[in-house]
């Protein structure tokens, strides 16, 4: 493990050495605890970025929830990394015997709280604050609405208090998307997902399923920190993050390592995310070199990075 310093650093001052030791300690403490079990990493539907030039008349749209992705295989809830969630039996009571894809969700702006609930090794009462919001029914025939009708029909005769089917609103013209986006953002939401309802079930990153946000976001892996200056002396100035395979494929070499300082709280500068952590950052378009413009730290993720992020 190495700490990557700013190219302007001439030496490792005592304060920076203390920071190195703190980061190493955090890395040791952050080693994932053993899960209840693991299965093969599932193949799932992944979103692409929406373009204003994309014609989406006749598509459908729903709110993009800021929760934790989960696959129901008919018996258990599985993370997109293939880890089995420790779910109370009463939470999944009434769930169907067929596969579902959705989001474990608490409320808008409550991503960190949702993570704290689902990451426990044993089932607990905190799950009563969550719902499982379904936006896909894998392996069923027909288009999206026909697939969702399968679970809606099932719920007409079965009680599953913690299961919801995410509503899909029709798009009559492209301007509907921006109006809906602003409504969602005004209510504290994250964004919108638009999908072509005519397509059969598919996995991988799809042009027929796109996320719409005022700001774009992506993931990167923490490889080091730069030394802070001024009020941040002896703390981290910025994170040095490597872009994972599958994102910004046009960038090569050193251009695939970003420096992200904006958005870091004082607490994160004092104790940065462990090396190897996956973090989400926001940006506003690309520079002439193709780099993310104005990258801003958003949050630490623990449910996948890059190609496996929705």
- Kindly list the catalytic residues: 64
Between CA 82 and CA 302 the distance in angstroms is 12
- Are the C-beta atoms of 191 and 184 separated by less than 8 Å? yes
Q: How far apart are the first and last CA of the chain?
A: 29
Exposure of 19 in the CB half-sphere (CA atoms within 13 A): 29
Say how far residue 55 (Cα) sits from the centre of its chain.
Answer: 26
Write out the H or E segment, with its range, that includes residue 18: helix 14-29
For residue 255, the 8-state DSSP code is G
Q: Give yes or no for a contact between 104 and 116, defined as CB atoms under 8 angstroms apart.
A: no
Measured CA to CA, the distance from residue 80 to residue 73 in angstroms comes to 12
């Amino acid at each position: 493990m190495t700490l990557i310093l700013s190219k302007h650093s001439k030496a490792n001052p005592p304060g920076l050495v203390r920071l190195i030791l703190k980061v190493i300690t955090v890395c040791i403490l952050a080693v994932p605890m053993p899960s209840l079990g693991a299965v093969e990493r599932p193949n799932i539907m992944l979103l692409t970025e929406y373009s204003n030039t994309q014609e989406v008349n006749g598509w459908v749209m729903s709110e993009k929830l800021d929760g934790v992705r989960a696959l129901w295989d008919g018996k258990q809830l599985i993370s997109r990394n293939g880890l089995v969630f420790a779910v109370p039996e009463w939470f999944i009571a009434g769930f169907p015997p067929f596969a579902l894809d959705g989001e474990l969700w608490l409320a808008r702006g409550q991503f960190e709280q949702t993570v704290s609930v689902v990451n426990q090794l044993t089932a607990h009462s905190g799950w009563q604050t969550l719902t499982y919001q379904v936006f896909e029914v894998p392996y069923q025939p027909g288009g999206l609405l026909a697939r969702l009708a399968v679970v809606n029909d099932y719920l007409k005769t079965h009680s599953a208090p913690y299961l919801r089917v995410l509503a899909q609103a029709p798009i009559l013209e492209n301007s509907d998307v921006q109006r809906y986006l602003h409504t969602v953002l005004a209510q504290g939401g994250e964004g919108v997902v638009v999908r072509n309802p005519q397509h059969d079930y598919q996995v991988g990153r799809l042009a027929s399923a796109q996320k719409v946000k005022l700001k774009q976001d992506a993931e990167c892996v923490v490889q080091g920190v730069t030394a802070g200056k001024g009020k941040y002396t002896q703390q981290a100035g910025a994170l040095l993050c490597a872009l994972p395979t599958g994102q910004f494929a046009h960038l090569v070499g050193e251009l695939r390592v970003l420096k992200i300082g904006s958005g870091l709280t004082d607490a994160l500068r004092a104790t940065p995310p462990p090396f190897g952590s996956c973090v989400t950052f926001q940006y506003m378009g690309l520079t002439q070199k193709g780099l993310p413009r104005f990258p801003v730290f958003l949050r630490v993720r623990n449910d996948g990075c890059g190609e496996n992020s929705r």
